[in-house]
Amino acid sequence: MKHRSICRISLRSLSACILTVCALMPLLGSASAAPLTKGVPVKIMPVGDSITEGKYTQGGYRKPLYDLLTKNGYSVTFVGKEDNGDPANDTGFSKGMESPNHEGYGSARIGMLLNGGTTEKHTALPIKTSLANNNPDVVLIMLGTNDVFGITATDKMKATMEKLVSSIFEQSPNVTVVLASICPIAKIAARDADVDAYNAVLPGIVQEQKALNHKIEFADIHSVVTPADLSGDKVHPSATGYNKMAALWYSVLTGEPAP
């Protein structure tokens, strides 16, 4: 009888373990490897507005991110428009950078990067064309600040961003996307609620794409860049703010904290 009792207990314990493992499998399966591997060449296409251009600085977050990656064993090239010699799209914010290209356009809204368009005398191509031209392995997206300035409703911003992200995967199914929240807008305090509302819907877009087995991550830039990290115009980050952004991008891309 003792042996039977022991067997029953063992079987029950085994069943409990099996159930526990089964319950954890979806969580384990949801973990994803870092997009970058040391020594493996990768092309990164930063997509966004004047914050991606790096207004008021040399390369914004792109230069410190590039420096962090290359100094720590990662082989990366930024791709996109030529921002250091192309008369049509050269803003001067990438002057002197070893890897100056990107897809950032001053005053751009989400729809402009989706469909193409012109702003501040610079012309963006539709996102699918930019992807075909540059063939990136990773796309960094930070867009929405100008939509908030334009008082675009959050649901419309969400719908347009969903189309942008979906279009990227339609064109390049194997690309990795990192979607970022936007910085605070200290210039107009009344926009805080709109910034928060928009940022709150972005993780849902990421989860929807993960459910489709697409490679996508979320970078919560808003959690690291504070109003004190903005420049004098209270919209664009200062050098300190851009450095904080770079450190967070680095962490998401590599799976390790920035050194």
The pLDDT tens digits for 71-90 are 999 999 999 998 887 777 88
In the chain, where are the structural domains located? 1-31, 32-254
φ, ψ for residue 150, nearest 5 deg:
-80, 5
Say which amino acid occupies 151.
I
Tokens of 173: 């199914």
Q: How far is CA 47 from the centre of its chain?
A: 8
Q: Which helix (H) or strand (E) holds 63?
A: helix 62-71
CA angle 191, 193, 196 (to 5 degrees): 110
Q: What are 151-186's pLDDT values in tens digits? A: 999 999 999 999 999 999 999 999 999 999 999 999
Q: How far is CA 164 from the centre of its chain?
A: 13
Tokens of 62: 């792109």
Residue range 32-254, CATH number:
3.40.50.1110
Q: What are 172-223's pLDDT values in tens digits? A: 999 999 999 999 999 998 899 999 999 999 999 999 999 999 999 999 999 9
